[in-house]
Amino acid sequence: MTENYLNILAETIRNNWDQPALTDFYLAEDGTAQDTSRGNHYTYGEMYAEICRVAELLTSLGLQKGDHIAICGANSAHWVIAYLAIAKMQGVSVTVMHSLMPDEIARLVDFSDAKALFTDEDIWAELKSQPMPQVGNVIGLVDWSILRGEKIQISNLQSPISNFDCGFPQSNPDSLAMICFTSGTSGSAKGVMLTNANVSVNASNGSKSYPDGLSNNVLLFIPLAHVLCLYGDFLGQLIKGKSVFMLKEVSIKTIYMGTQLLRPYAMNIIPQVVLGLKKIGDDGLSVLKICQQIYIGGAKLEDSLYEELRKANVHNSIGYGLTETGPISWSIYSEYRQGTCGKIAAGLNFRISPSGEILVKGENVMLGYYKDPEATARKIDKDGWLHTGDKGHLDEDGYLYVEGRLEHDIIVLPNGENIRPDNIESIINALPEVKESIVLARDGKLVAIVVPQITNHQSPITNTDLRRMIMRKVNPSLPLFSQLYDVEITDVPLQRTEKQTIKRYLYK
């Protein structure tokens, strides 16, 4: 059985006591330097002392071992400390995406039976009118002030902490440690229950997925509530003693500038970031070659973008995983094979069903869906195999090829033609004038909803001209039966999950 990640973290803290651990990374106004006057900065020793203080605050508020405590906030050093403080007092973390609408945040917090909530004050300003009857205390992530509930002040520790005092309580590997939520691409999000063993093996795999590099820096900008970031950028890097920088005010520009300034040895990114960097100019993709390892996950990366990364000499590879399992496959750059999702993670039982479905079993697989035994039974069979819903195969060298969903989003036109909308969207999204798009059927005809890419240097173009231009450039590359009938232009961003996957069900 994999060693508990908290035991490994405690040893890392002891050995790196005075080394930098967590930093809120702000850019100066001109974008040419880090603004060190803003945000929080913690060494490993300072981080542990703060974890102890926040754990004491939680117990002073009457929270006990096994209580559910939610975290909903933008990435920050205090988000990380709140998560680890909950672990120290043996509570259950409930991680909720801060980008959701207030009513959805409240619904998930209430559904999870959370007794307390850590959140940002601006989120609380919109959330406090929402019904969350079970939440007794709301704690601000900025300074641990009590936003709702008993006004207890966070205390100073009664005795100084040294590296010899560092430790976390021993936890049952099979006990519930965390509830996080699926993306909800095709419906309501489900609460994924993860045990201490689940978190430990996935954090271990997240740590092993990066080669050791000359730099000690990690740049983090994917939301911490997403397991790709939680395992790969947060837990997986802290247990290695790395210096984790939380990028504030996230945009393509700040990712670009932050990478130049920090020169991180590794980063997790999603395909939308790759596309955004490409669109800012010739140096957009090449900035990624600073990193010794770039992992791309969360969604499919188009072959053309992969080739451009290779030409820019970016050390990238593509991994595969689920919220319910953490990383299933990955390979470091030097061992990666193009077109695959790497090799199966160590310690994972893996097989392909007769129908071609990817099945996994092992310590990494979730306990089940919270309050949803029926959905759990549909996902995990009686023999313990989790059904991913994805098709794939292994080659003779053990590399995994993921071939799409068993039941992909298919548009069936009245004439019987089956259309893959993502194929058409990839052509539309490659246009420099387009930020994002979705293709759907209306009255039996294909229509694209397009959000234009606006830059300060772009000459004004009317929606009518943009519509005509897209039709003129896209349709000739498509078979006659899958050509666009119309294009709608909107300045309203498409609603996405935390993986930046479009919530297609909202546009049916």
pLDDT tens digit string along 376-411? 999 999 999 999 988 999 999 999 999 877 766 677
The pLDDT confidence band at residue 365, using thresholds 50, 70 and 90, is very high
Residue at token pair 């999870």: 112
Reply yes or no on whether the pLDDT at 366 is more than 70.
yes
- Fold assignment, 411-507: GMP Synthetase; Chain A, domain 3 (3.30.300)
For a pLDDT cut of 70, what percent of the chain falls above it?
Answer: 94
According to DSSP, residue 149 is labeled: S
- Segment 196-214 shows an average pLDDT of 84
Distance, CA of 329 to CA of 378 (rounded, Å): 23
Distance, CA of 231 to CA of 168 (rounded, Å): 19
Reply yes or no on whether the pLDDT at 415 is more than 70.
no
- Greater confidence (207 vs 147) lies with 147
Distance, CA of 44 to CA of 14 (rounded, Å): 8
Reply yes or no on whether the pLDDT at 425 is more than 60.
yes
Reply yes or no on whether the pLDDT at 454 is more than 70.
yes
Residue-level pLDDT at 198? 94
Decide if 271 contacts 54 (C-beta within 8 A): no
Looking at 43-57, 247-261, 263-277, 373-387, which range is the least confident one?
263-277
Looking at 6-20, 179-193, 346-360, which range is the least confident one?
179-193
- Segment 54-60 shows an average pLDDT of 95
Residue 110, classed as helix, strand or coil, is helix
Residue-level pLDDT at 407? 65
- Greater confidence (161 vs 123) lies with 123
Tokens of 30: 């001109």
Q: Could you report the per-residue pLDDT of 276-312, keeping only the tens digit for each?
A: 898 887 788 989 999 988 998 877 787 888 888 988 8
Give residue limits of the domains in the chain.
Answer: 5-394, 411-507
Distance, CA of 450 to CA of 474 (rounded, Å): 13
Residue 277: phi and psi, rounded to 5, are -65, -35
| Architecture in CATH of 5-394 | 3-Layer(aba) Sandwich (3.40)
pTM: 0.82
The pLDDT confidence band at residue 507, using thresholds 50, 70 and 90, is confident
